[in-house]
Chain A
Amino acid sequence: MPTPIGMPDTFGAVLRSTASPTIESVERETRSERLPNISDAVTAKDSEGFDFNGRVRQFVEVVNNDQMDAEKKARAFARGEDNDLHGTMIALQKADISLRLISTVKNRLIEAYREIQRMGA
């Protein structure tokens, strides 16, 4: 269709771009906008090198160690091998506080996640 004099050939450009795509053009597009790989996201660090997953794992390990330590001390005390009463009580207290802390952190994280989900709705 002949364009008026001086106007850019916009209609022709639109026609050319909506032509049936070839395989190469499809590949070119998907390569540039590839979805991130799930395993990359799991082990990714952000720009400052903060490894969230690693930190959470470390924290859970610390809490677990506290719990095991407290249980060991309580058992030894019940069996009469260890008569350090206040040491046992303090270990139990530490385990209690660690567990409460990690439970609170989990609750806050889930709350934040739900808040973000609500943003989309």
Chain B
Amino acid sequence: MHFFSAMDIVASGLNAQRTRLNIIASNLANARTTRTPEGGPYQRRDPVFEAAPVSSRFRELLNDPAAQATYTVNVAEVRADTGPPTRLYDPTHPDADAEGFVSLPNVNVMEEMVNLLTAQRAYDAGITVMQSVKGMARAALSIGA
């Protein structure tokens, strides 16, 4: 059942890209949010991915060098981008500071759209790998038929 470890790795990749998609959606939706529960404008969020060793049910896989060298991906944390907010001069805004500047989130919409595209392509790539794995397993089952 070594195919199943490939499927687990792909599943973790798909999870990671979906998490990234959610974060991008949050960034885009809050691109002009000036109030947050923590105070201050919305800060752009970024996921941090880490490689985690493949965990399997089968002890035999631990003796397999490929299983020791391949990793699943985990979302280690979602960090806030602490870069400076965009300042806009608008004294009539309720959240304007003493000088009349409003701090807007440091979300660059173009950058988020490009990140969205890469997340989508990575998701598609994972699905393609899944189809290949499924095809290979089915082909193996037809040996000798």
Known contacts A86-B18, A87-B15; is A93 also within 8 Å of B141 by CB?
A: no
A93 to B11, Cβ gap below 8 A? no
**Stretch with Cβ within 8 A of A (4 or more), from B65-73, B114-122, B130-138:** B130-138
Which residues in B have their C-beta under 8 angstroms from that of A100? 138, 141
B7 to A90, Cβ gap below 8 A? yes
Shortest C-beta distance, A121 to chain B (Å), equals 24
Q: Known contacts A87-B11, A90-B11, A90-B130; can you find 18 more A-B pairs with CB under 8 A? A: A62-B1, A86-B14, A86-B15, A86-B126, A86-B127, A87-B14, A87-B15, A90-B10, A93-B7, A93-B130, A97-B3, A97-B138, A97-B141, A98-B1, A100-B138, A100-B141, A101-B137, A108-B144
A97 to B15, Cβ gap below 8 A? no
Which residues in B have their C-beta under 8 angstroms from that of A93? 7, 130, 134
A104 contacts which of B18, B130, B141 (Cβ < 8 Å)? B141
| B4 at interface, CB cutoff 8 A | yes
Which residues in B have their C-beta under 8 angstroms from that of A94? 4, 7
Shortest C-beta distance, B11 to chain A (Å), equals 5
Known contacts A86-B18, A104-B141, A108-B144; is A97 also within 8 Å of B11 by CB?
A: no
Q: C-beta contact mask, B8-41 vs A, less than 8 Å → 1, else 0? A: 0011001100100000000000000000000000
Q: Lowest 3 CB-CB distances: which A-B pairs, in order?
A: A86-B14, A97-B137, A90-B11
Main secondary structure of the interface of B (DSSP, over half): helix
Chain B: residues with Cβ within 8 Å of the partner, total of: 18
Chain A: residues with Cβ within 8 Å of the partner, total of: 13
Q: List 12 A-B contacts (CB under 8 A).
A: A62-B1, A84-B15, A86-B18, A86-B126, A87-B14, A87-B15, A93-B130, A100-B141, A101-B137, A101-B141, A104-B145, A108-B144
A86 to B11, Cβ gap below 8 A? yes
CA distance A62 to B56 in the complex (A): 13
Q: C-beta contact mask, B79-109 vs A, less than 8 Å → 1, else 0? A: 0000000000000000000000000000000
